[in-house]
Amino acid sequence: MRMKEDRMLNGQLKPPYNTQISTQNQINVHFTIHQNPTEYKTLKPHLENLEQTFGKKVFKKLKEITTYVGCGSEENYDYL
């Protein structure tokens, strides 16, 4: 497992885990933990797990998905 380099470049290593959390009305409704040090590779698996957990009917009712620039990739844009 590869450790994630700290952005301050001070020699500290961060755990290579990323947690994705889905909320509705400021309440956590779903989360996934990924052993991947990059955020952009966790969005699609998180949303697929969300769909599997709540079903396609609920998943298709989502009006918007908000994330931050760390999840921005061509693969994620195509998926959305």
pLDDT string in tens for the chain (80-residue length): 556 666 666 766 666 788 899 998 889 999 999 987 778 889 999 999 999 999 998 888 888 888 888 788 888 889 88
What pLDDT does 6 receive?
A: 60
What pLDDT does 32 receive?
A: 94
The residue segments making up the domain with residue 20 are 4-79
User: And the tokens for 18?
Assistant: 């990323």
For the chain, the domain total comes to 1
What pLDDT does 30 receive?
A: 93
Cβ–Cβ contacts within 10 Å for residue 37, how many?
Answer: 17
Contact 39, 70 (CB under 8 A): yes
What pLDDT does 41 receive?
A: 87
